[in-house]
Amino acid sequence: MKTILVTGGAGYIGSHTVLALGERGYDVVTLDNLSAGHRWAVRHGELVELDLLDREGLDRLFAARRFDAVVHFAAHIQVPESVERPLMYYVNNVGGTLNLLAAMVRHGPRYLIYSSSAAVYGIPEVIPVAEDAPLRPINPYGHTKAMVERILRDMARAGEIDYIALRYFNVAGADPGGRLGEGKEWAPHLITVAVRAAAGRRAGMTVFGTDYPTPDGTGVRDYIHVSDLAEAHVLALEHLLATGESGVFNCGYGRGYSVLEVLDAVREVTGVDFPVEYAGRRAGDPPALVADSRLIRERLGWQPRLDDLRLIVETAWRWELP
């Protein structure tokens, strides 16, 4: 049985992936400092409470245990926060990853699946955006992801590691089996915010920006169900373990929805009309981000099963209901 170390495995996407790996018969060890993750979210394997900035702790863990691969989620992930506190983002996202890579090079394993982001593209010239588009992040969060990708590429070229970077678009929804969802108290993402407004767990919500160069003026995103994304990780891991081939893949469905379209879907699925305010653009937000997702379908054989905005909203809604 293969043992996979999952950093950030107590977080939203990490926990869904830990579950998917467990269901495929992998032995999973979750490493998490629980700053944004939750103990309850680790539904498979063991949890090691550790911070990636603790180099000695990491070294001890890698010296004591043998891992076949690392899946690396642990990072700060909020774009607006990264604009306000860039140093915290660079230290944690880049510095933490460097510590992890140093431990891997010292002790093994050589295989890494990395959580990258569509934020590396900034404001793409061509939409849908493909993997070979130029990387021009427009916020510190996106820069941390692009920097780590660069480091991984250089290390792979030098033979120090093999990796697959997955560039996530807008991850949403919850485990269709109702076992997991986005962390209970902290959640800035559009679908979670809207569903919570519908559930009466917040007074209402705000639409950030109505003057974008998009059909209805609000931001357009490619929303992907978290369980389809978890499956993409399993496929990437299997591919990497089998071939040792490094690569970079977009993870999105290839279809964009505006904020207003998402809110319509939330009203329709929940049957609740909640208060919405309109405000200016949020710092660091691009107008539109939609994936060209051909590569991951072709190379990894990824076949999304939950590619439906209403289904995404429905699973998120079920998770939020008491």
Q: Could you list the residues that contact ligand UFG (CB under 6 A)?
A: 77, 79, 117-119, 169-170, 188-190, 193, 205-209, 219, 221, 259, 282, 285, 289
Is 47 or 152 the residue whose CB approaches ligand UFG more closely? 152
For 206-232, b/e burial (b = at least 16 CB within 10 A) is ebbbbebebeebbbbbbbbbbbbbbbb
User: Known catalytic residues?
Assistant: 141
We find the least distance from the C-beta atom of residue 167 to ligand UFG, in angstroms, to be 8
Is 110 or 221 the residue whose CB approaches ligand UFG more closely? 221
* Backbone dihedral region for residue 162 (phi beyond 0: left; psi -120 to 50: alpha; all else: beta): beta
Three-state SS at 6: strand
Q: What are phi and psi of 116, to 5 degrees?
A: -100, -170
We find the least distance from the C-beta atom of residue 142 to ligand UFG, in angstroms, to be 7
Q: Which residue is nearest to ligand UFG (CB)?
A: 219
Is 189 or 239 the residue whose CB approaches ligand UFG more closely? 189
Cβ atoms of 247 and 112 within 8 Å: the answer is no
In 3D space, the residue among 217, 1, 252 whose CA is nearest the CA of residue 128 turns out to be 252
We find the least distance from the C-beta atom of residue 278 to ligand UFG, in angstroms, to be 9
Q: How far is CA 7 from CA 37, 79, 218, in A?
A: 11, 20, 34
Cβ atoms of 68 and 4 within 8 Å: the answer is yes
We find the least distance from the C-beta atom of residue 108 to ligand UFG, in angstroms, to be 30
Is 28 or 288 the residue whose CB approaches ligand UFG more closely? 288
Question: Could you tell me whether strands 111-117 and 69-72 are parallel, antiparallel, or unpaired per DSSP bridges?
Answer: parallel
